[in-house]
A and B are shown apart, each in its own frame.
Chain A
Amino acid sequence: MSAATIVSLPDQATARIPKDNYLTRENGILSWLLTQDHKRIGILYLISMTFFFFIGGALAGMIRLELLTPQSDLMAADTYNKVFTMHGIIMIFFFLVPSVPGALGNFFLPMMIGAKDLALPKMNLASWYFYMAGGILALWAMITGGVDTGWTFTTPLSTHYVNTNVITTGLAIFITGFSSIFTGLNFIVTIHKMRAPGMTWFRLPLFIWANYAASILMVLGTPVLAIAIVLVALERAFGIGVFDPTKGGDPLLFQHLFWFYSHPAVYIMILPGMGVISEVVSTFSRKRVFGYTAVAFSSVAIAVFGFFVWAHHMFIMGVSSYAVLVFSLLTMLVAVPSAIKIFNWAFTLYKGSITFETPMIYAFGFMGLFTIGGMTGVFLGVSGTDIHLTETYFIVAHFHFVMVGGMLMAFLAGIHFWWPKMTGRMYPEKISQLAAVITFIGFNFTFFPQFILGTLGMPRRYASYPPEFQVLNVLSTAGATILGVGYLLPVLYLIWSLKYGKIAGDNPWQATGLEWQTQSPPLTENFAVMPIMDHEAYDYEWLERQTEARQKAKEVTSVG
């Protein structure tokens, strides 16, 4: 890879981190715990979700180690069941759902629309406390015996048969749901009411569109999950018989309620990540995102269609064949906006001026892995092939390609993209590029063999398996160790960069977003002067004129 780069850093000899910024304005632990500054809340989210990510990751490591051999030998079957259950719950509810909105959205959404803060700062802080309360309760449930229902809480297993901390864990998820709802509500209000002058809907960065769509899903979907969990808890504690067939209940009803949230939830997880990719691809190819309106509306289309496909999780569960037809058809429709996005990002590169800084490498990784993840989703949305592939490792591989290959890659792209703005410092470029490549390779090694395992019929959630599946499982575990290295590296060099990184300056990537037109790290008020949006999003010519004007002004003052 050649040395071509767009990074333009200030002269390191004279550059200083601005004395007054959101990090230095106030000091002490209470100034963080009681902050209403969206940026500090974003940082709180970032730290806490990284913590949960590594707990979830350690559990994933235990799963892969157990599956190294066909027998259930590293841990007892019960332990294995608890481990994969907690892996799913922690990764989904305490990492993937809040990741981009909680950390990057909180931090950058107001800055990108030129606002001082989110519309409801106290609610924003409350959302973090709900998140933490839920997270700590979930960990407590894990330590005091765990839960072994799978993250899907299938009834009547969860209501009548297991003897573990179902209610505590359910309560943890219930509480965390409020943090989702608060964040979504806050984003919707902020995007509607707090845009800077001139920031019309079609001048919004695509990250905002994506988060807007995800917020709608959070606000409308999460309450249904809350209802489902409350019903499970009531049935478990008092035997109310909503799901219990011996009392006239219907266990399929739980499936409907659960997936009515949990399918849109995958879009809650992936949409904000798609927003990140739009920002990154545009910045590092110096071009407006190809087909801006198509990308913006495809986010909305995903949010709308996303609500009408939940029963594709139930094709073999004995729902009516005609329901299967309808939901399979709608699932085909929801695949289209994702395809539109991928092609638009690819064509954003066309006639661009492309460089390969770390965020761009992660974004490329995202495009490749998300394409595979999306196409394998079609295998499962098609009712015929779903029969053979569902409930096997094929589905495990599919959603890890979308959630880890897609979402986590996008999250890391976003972290690397905005890190200089958040901290005012650059991370070491070469090692971070290496980490991105390691992650990509490790990821494919880990999850591609699982597609083959699934096609062979290996069921998911098995502590032991027939010996002919071992070779592919060994490959997958080997890949997971590479992946682990890929995830540990960024933690190390990002922390290192806090003290030793080069000073980034206001706009190291020469990006057009409003968040880059202020100092790094930003002021508590974000902008010294209220910004006025007098150009389209991703207008690189405007940025050039702006830079020239600034340079001229500097020359004049230095001459004068």
Chain B
Amino acid sequence: MSHISPVLWQFLIKWLTHFAVFPPEASRIAPQLDALYFFIVLVSLIGLTIVVLLVASFSILYHKNRHPVAVQIEGSTLLEATWTIIPLGLFLMMFVWGAIIYFRVFTPPPNAMNIYVVGKQWMWKAEHEGGQHEINTLHVPLGQPVQLTMISQDVFHSLSIPAFRIKREVIPGRYTTVWFEATQIGTFHLFCTQYCGTNHSQMIGDVIVLSPEDYKAWLASSTSGMSLAQDGERLFASLSCAACHNTRPDARGPSLAGVYNAKLTLANGQKITADDAYLRESILNPSQHITQGFAPIMPTYQGQISEEGVVALVEYIKHLDSDYRVQQTTTTTDMLPESGGKAAPADSTTAPGKVNP
């Protein structure tokens, strides 16, 4: 064998040792999706075999040498019906089965923990609730449903984790979600699968599935000391949001306490649920979403806050279950030296004392 070139030899060794033909099944949904996949593979193989057998056997039986004169046949309604109805039936079966899988992949269970993912040319940023920030890696616990709430800072991206059999487009301007429950400890590929420019093929990372204990340890060792909501609070303060969004009678904006998932009535009479997407839109494009009873005076924050910033703000608003924190934040704002001279915050802090008895 020594005369085989070393390159070829290396290639053969690689062939024998690294010949992946099927991705690992590392999530709850993976075996279910694979069952459907193999069902379609089976049907395809049977279909292909039938076509090949028909063509091959006719080619032999009715070869000109064996069958010099063709017999003219019009067709057969029965056969036409057969090969219309049987494929149609099989396709419909696959459609229903596929739809069931589809809804499972995109309907998160209520106990799913949320991780925000921001895609940008050419990296993945993950924002955990506890304030852990990651780039091109995603740590998740084993056996816990995880929902990813994703948005793109620039162009279309697509988050794909082949081992989990999930993929979802990450789009500028709107949140998309996907969920999974990892069932295998290990490191798996994370790909961007929507072409996004120069370094599209570098926009890859690792999903690291840890046991619940290891995950806890990782959380503790990786936090920046501030939770995502606290990051949001800081931003809320520096943008002086509480100047208007407070519970005082003369507040110019609606109170944000408990607003998350509340049913709101807009100025145009439309009823809407204040979910992540609504909160984001209301920050970036406020004049489109005026709550009933308020004037369209809020300026747009489009281009002033990064998507990570919006994510932090949304996370903060989600945690605002009483007005207490807003009051706290207002106080913080007042202490910031650059806003001290501004009329609005000063006005709003003095207002309660004047109006309230």
Contacts and interface: CB of A to CB of B under 8 A. Distances in A.
Q: DSSP class of B's interface residues: helix, strand, loop or mixed? A: mixed
Nearest to A85: B195
B193 A391 contact: yes
In this complex, the interface size class of chain A, counting residues with CB under 8 Å from chain B, is: 35 or more
A152 B103 CA distance: 27
A371 B48 contact: yes
Interface stretch (B130-138, B151-159, B250-258, B315-323): B151-159
Interface in A365-380: 367-368, 371-372, 375-376, 378-379
Contact of A336 (B63, B69, B87, B288): B87
Nearest to B11: A474
B173 interface: yes
Given A292-B75, A351-B71, A378-B40, A385 B101 contact: yes
B17 to A, nearest CB: 10
A343 B83 contact: yes
B173 A246 contact: yes
Greatest chain A CB density within 10 A among B51, B121, B165, B171 is at B51
Contacts of B55: 346, 349, 364, 367-368
A248 B99 contact: no
A211 B94 CA distance: 31
B44 A294 contact: no
A52 to B, nearest CB: 23
Interface string A323-354: 01100110011011001101110110111111
A383 interface: yes
Contacts of A13: none
B37 A385 contact: yes
B201 A72 contact: yes
B259 interface: no
Nearest to B204: A466
Contacts of B331: none
B156 to A, nearest CB: 6
Contacts of B72: 287-288, 540-541
A31 interface: no
B201 A464 contact: yes
B52 interface: yes
Given A81-B198, A346-B51, A391 B167 contact: yes
B357 to A, nearest CB: 45
Contacts of A350: 58, 62, 73
A388 B171 contact: no
A165 B160 CA distance: 30
A422 to B, nearest CB: 26
Greatest chain A CB density within 10 A among B67, B84, B191, B200 is at B200
Contact of A371 (B18, B20, B22, B51): B51
A154 interface: yes
Contacts of A540: 70, 72
Contacts of A364: 55, 59
Interface string B164-194: 0111110111101000000000000101111
Contacts of A455: 21-23, 37
Contact of B174 (A154, A245, A381): A245
A154 B106 contact: no
A317 to B, nearest CB: 4
Interface stretch (A128-136, A155-163, A550-558): A155-163
A246 B155 contact: no
B67 A353 contact: yes
A77 interface: yes
B79 A291 contact: yes
Interface string A249-290: 011100000000000000000000000000000000111101
Given A78-B198, A162-B197, A354-B59, A156 B87 contact: no
Contacts of B65: 2, 4
A251 B174 CA distance: 10
B83 A388 contact: no
A248 B289 CA distance: 13
A235 interface: no
A353 B158 CA distance: 53
A491 to B, nearest CB: 28
Given A294-B80, A340-B84, A391-B160, A354 B169 contact: no
Greatest chain A CB density within 10 A among B52, B102, B192 is at B102
Interface string B11-35: 1001100111111000000000100
Interface in B277-317: 285, 288, 302-303
A380 to B, nearest CB: 10
Q: DSSP class of A's interface residues: helix, strand, loop or mixed? A: helix
In this complex, the interface size class of chain B, counting residues with CB under 8 Å from chain A, is: 35 or more
A160 B155 CA distance: 9
A154 B194 contact: yes
A382 B162 contact: no
B37 A372 contact: no
A6 interface: yes
A385 B91 CA distance: 13
Interface string A66-90: 0000001000011001000000000
A293 interface: yes
B67 to A, nearest CB: 5
A157 B201 contact: no
A469 to B, nearest CB: 7
B88 to A, nearest CB: 5
B171 A462 contact: no
A461 B195 contact: yes
A494 B73 CA distance: 35
A355 B64 contact: yes
A157 B156 contact: yes
Contacts of A160: 154-155
Nearest to A332: B91
A465 interface: yes
Contacts of B43: 375
Contact of B193 (A251, A460, A468): A460
B270 interface: no
Nearest to B288: A248
Given A353-B62, A457-B160, A161 B121 contact: yes
B225 interface: no
A372 B48 contact: yes
A387 interface: yes
Given A156-B154, A294-B75, A382 B167 contact: no
Nearest to A541: B72
B109 interface: no
B63 A354 contact: yes
A452 interface: yes
B74 interface: yes
21 contacts: A78-B198, A246-B303, A252-B171, A285-B70, A316-B167, A316-B168, A317-B171, A321-B103, A332-B88, A336-B91, A339-B47, A339-B84, A347-B76, A375-B44, A376-B44, A378-B40, A384-B105, A385-B40, A455-B37, A456-B20, A464-B202
Given A6-B64, A382-B94, 19 more contacts: A248-B288, A251-B172, A285-B62, A287-B72, A291-B76, A316-B158, A329-B95, A332-B91, A335-B87, A340-B83, A343-B54, A346-B54, A351-B71, A378-B40, A379-B37, A391-B167, A455-B22, A456-B22, A461-B201
Interface of B: 11, 14-15, 18-23, 33, 36-37, 40, 43-44, 47-48, 51-52, 54-55, 58-59, 62-65, 67-76, 79-80, 83-84, 87-88, 91-92, 94-95, 97-103, 105-106, 121, 154-156, 158, 160, 162-163, 165-169, 171-174, 176, 189, 191-202, 204, 285, 288, 302-303
Interface of A: 2, 4-6, 72, 77-78, 81, 148-150, 152, 154, 156-157, 160-162, 245-246, 248, 250-252, 285-288, 290-294, 315-318, 321, 324-325, 328-329, 332-333, 335-336, 339-340, 342-344, 346-347, 349-356, 364, 367-368, 371-372, 375-376, 378-379, 381-388, 390-392, 452, 455-457, 459-471, 474, 540-541
Which 7 A-B pairs give the minimum distances between C-beta atoms? A457-B162, A245-B173, A384-B101, A382-B98, A291-B75, A384-B98, A349-B58
